[in-house]
Amino acid sequence: MLPREYVPLADHCTMGVGGPARYFVEARDEAAVLAAHEWAQARRVPIRVLGGGSNLVVADEGVEALVVKIALRGVNARLTDGAAELTAAAGEPWDDLVRDSVERGWAGLECLSGIPGLVGATPMQNVGAYGQEVGECVSNVRALDTATGRIVAFANRECRFDYRDSVFRSGEPGRYVVLSVSYRLRPGGAATVRYVDVEKALAARGIVSPTLADVRAGVLAIRRSKSMVLDPHDENRRSCGSFFTNPIIAGDAFAGVAARAGDASMPRWPLPDGRVKLSAAWLIERAGFTRGLTDGPVGLSTRHSLAVVAHDNARAKDVLLFARRLQSAVEQRFGVRLTPEPVLWGTIEW
């Protein structure tokens, strides 16, 4: 394995900012991933795994590591015990897999349509949208354990899925390189409609009993209206999508936040454990930031106040300074601290 040196990473990330990888290699099969790990181990070089780059901000100085771009491909589908199992290599484009599941009539992923990135990223942050999370249907994750050099498998409960989190992201970040993911789906199952925006989109089309394809079409339309699908012609294309997760606060803290908001219509979603999820986008807007607001070479999306957008000549430093400004304003206004959703590489302090 002969990695390239000083490869610019901005071209590999949807945000389009950041410096080079000290070493860079593209892995098209599992043998290449193992070889990259061995190469890095022998030279005591850290490994960083790059997928679609849609949830990543790289420091302007780059990253002193071997960046392994995952390009493993392959999909296997089978019916077993009345369920359907769809297994995909980590480098498969995520939305292609969702479309495949919908076309087969296998329910479970339809609301996750249009999310950019690759399959391998989905269990990392328990990707979710419009009422579904992959943690609901992941049955198995195969990964390289960089601590032992062995390939291991995780059942669903071992992944420790939580809101935008898993053992792969916060449990032991960087330890596991996802190689493939299996999803257990429902053949002939009903489409999931749990989200108000999806309900409205279906009602506007006069659809009472939606199919999987109806829900997928509705979700894609919603995401396009918010510049949340990859489109090279979209003025908001250089972003990581939602830059912050929706904050989850203790139930007994909600009254204080509501009082500071002074607005009975503040969006909130009570959770089974007594905590309350809030809308990060709503908090940002009520803290004084409007869609389309710019601050030098960065700003908010013109269509979604949760997306930080990089414009011409933007640097990673500019993106992070603006994001910290949003975070600080929300904390001062509501006493709620927003958590960044993208992975941050290099000498980036948050």
Residue 329 burial (CB count, 10 A): 17
Annotated catalytic residue within 136, 285, 331, 341: 341
CA gap 25, 149 in Å, rounded:
18
Q: Which is it for strands 128-129 and 106-107: parallel, antiparallel or unpaired? A: unpaired
The phi-psi region of residue 319 (left if phi > 0; otherwise alpha if psi is between -120 and 50; otherwise beta) is alpha
Nearest to 137 by CA among 91, 103, 167, 181: 181
Q: How many CA atoms lie within 13 A of 272 on its CB side?
A: 1
CA gap 295, 312 in Å, rounded:
12
Do 140 and 154 meet the contact criterion of CB atoms below 8 Å apart? yes
What ranges in 236-315 are assigned the alpha helix state H?
A: 254-261, 280-286
Annotated catalytic residue within 164, 169, 223, 238: 164
Helix (H), strand (E) at residue 248: strand 248-249
4 tagged catalytic: no
Do 219 and 200 meet the contact criterion of CB atoms below 8 Å apart? no
The phi-psi region of residue 184 (left if phi > 0; otherwise alpha if psi is between -120 and 50; otherwise beta) is beta
Annotated catalytic residue within 113, 227, 242, 305: 242
Helix (H), strand (E) at residue 141: strand 138-145
**Tokens standing for residue 57:** 């901000």
341 tagged catalytic: yes
Q: Which is it for strands 63-70 and 47-50: parallel, antiparallel or unpaired? A: parallel
Q: Which residues are catalytic?
A: 164, 242, 341
